[in-house]
Structure 1
């Protein structure tokens, strides 16, 4: 019988483990800075718990990498953060930021677990999911207690079960449009909220980045985020549904350097990449033509922005290569 612990790591496991290492070293830097500036004593233990979790993940990942003789990624370290810098983010934003990252971790961890093969990687990603759920609980409960939790819209319950009878259900460009479904409303709400959180983050990063080139890149990202907020918000507004709040006012006027430009770029690129996934899921779940097409037109815009960011990171030598397949043609030439 095959030893389940001695089988090679699959491509899915390699990519998920590498990405998790990068994200956890980044999370350690960001939350150490948060901890140094937090004032709310109810938020402090959540940040401390997040730091401990990220460090524990890194330790487990290092064990797997060393056992496999896999090169340890550079990731992020003390050199990428100035924890004594002035406070840039309010405690309310810190809490919302952590809640948003827990949502991303739930999706990424679930996908990684679904494709994991070896017992050690299965165990690791079960742990990642459990920690993401716990962070959800911690942030949700405190935000509900403090009155800062923004709930999705409430819809009237249907009187009976109904089936779609006409193709008008799919219409959206001409004639009368049907009301948005609860699924469509949920995606619109979440994508407005995600862009609002991202816009505040990228605004703060633009203020504190060192390079003018990076500042300009973030300024364009801020404009794109606002454009998407306006588009999705209009769909909700037209249905007399509430639009999630902006988080811009939770960012201070500090311009002091906090994070390395390398960390800033990786962080924003990772969040935008997850946003592309959310848009894709929303497009697939939105049968109304005007809404589905709107997502289809916005995804290329974000993808081009991501490509521009990747070019900047390559130019400055900041982009670590994830594990890759063998280049057979290159091997033959050798």
Structure 2
């Protein structure tokens, strides 16, 4: 029988593995710090499990890269974290961050599965998906138990099936405006929650950044996150629906260096890039014009923030290049 693992990796498979490697090496650094600082005995086992999973993922990918003579990315190492630094975040933040990372893992692995063809790569993405689901289950269960899980808003169950009969269903600026539907509520809730957590992350990173341009970048990110929290929350509160809010500050008062500026910049860039994807999905699901146009206006603004972050990483020599196509024109000229 033909060994299908001898088939060369496609560009999509390279992209998925490279991105996953970068993400898992970040996870090893962050979770190592969380494990060193966590005090809650119920959260500790989840961090241990997540750290072990990330290390196993890195090992699997390293073996695969070596087999393919694929240069192993540098990613992030113990040089990018100081586990002995003072505590920067609360235990509650550790749990919320792990929950959010589970969502990102499920999203990334699902995307990887749609384009992977080699059996070993497919199996790896399935592993990531299953681990992401398990992490989400673990964090959700504990957050519910501890009373810190913020549920989506509740609305009445419909008493009958209806069809849209008039064009006003799509309006949002002038004339009669309908109430937002369950799909629109879901995306407003998710995007509010993501920005609440994002604001906490960049606040902590701004406190501990060593380079001034990095610090100012995170301060700008904090302001943007608060702006988006207010924007999405306002849509919900105008409909008399609750919006996700922060349960007090999760950022403590240390200013000592915990993570390298390189790691923090890459981590924020990854999260913000994922946020653009969520806004795009929300745009497609929102039929009321005022909601759709609001998402459309945010996407370019966030994309510019990502670009500015990339320029900072390039300036400092922190941006590791993903695999690229052959530049035949350049080869011809040389």
TM band (smaller chain): over 0.9
- Residue 191 (structure 1) aligns with: 191
The offset of 1:3, in angstroms, is 3.6
8 Å CA contact 1:188–1:232 kept in 2: the answer is yes
Structure 1 CA distance for aligned equivalents of residues 5 and 76 of structure 2: 29
The offset of 1:247, in angstroms, is 5.3
8 Å CA contact 1:31–1:51 kept in 2: the answer is yes
- Residue 150 (structure 1) aligns with: 150
**1:35-114 equivalent positions in 2, closer than 5 A:** 35-114=35-114
Structure 2 CA distance for aligned equivalents of residues 226 and 94 of structure 1: 20
SS of 2:5's partner is coil
Structure 2 CA distance for aligned equivalents of residues 277 and 124 of structure 1: 23
8 Å CA contact 1:80–1:263 kept in 2: the answer is yes
The offset of 1:176, in angstroms, is 1.6
TM-score by length of 2: 0.99
SS of 2:4's partner is coil
Deviations 1:196-226 (A, max 9, x none): 0000000000000101111011000100111
The offset of 1:333, in angstroms, is 2.1
Which stretches of structure 1, 4 residues or longer, exceed 4 Å deviation after superposition?
Answer: none
**1:295-314 equivalent positions in 2, closer than 5 A:** 295-314=295-314
The offset of 1:97, in angstroms, is 0.6
The offset of 1:114, in angstroms, is 1.4
Is residue 292 of structure 2 the alignment partner of residue 292 of structure 1? yes
8 Å CA contact 1:200–1:247 kept in 2: the answer is no
Structure 2 CA distance for aligned equivalents of residues 35 and 102 of structure 1: 17
Structure 2 CA distance for aligned equivalents of residues 68 and 203 of structure 1: 41
Structure 1 CA distance for aligned equivalents of residues 190 and 90 of structure 2: 21
Structure 2 CA distance for aligned equivalents of residues 143 and 257 of structure 1: 29
Deviations 1:258-299 (A, max 9, x none): 000000100000000000000000000001000000000000
**1:165-244 equivalent positions in 2, closer than 5 A:** 165-244=165-244
- Residue 252 (structure 1) aligns with: 252
The offset of 1:5, in angstroms, is 1.2
**Unmatched runs of 5 consecutive residues or more in structure 1:** none
Aligned residues: 334
Pairwise CA RMSD:
0.9
Change (3 A) 1:156 1:305: same
Deviations 1:128-183 (A, max 9, x none): 00100000111011111111111000110000000000110000010121010100
- Residue 265 (structure 2) aligns with: 265
TM-score by length of 1: 0.99
SS of 1:250's partner is coil
Structure 2 CA distance for aligned equivalents of residues 111 and 250 of structure 1: 31
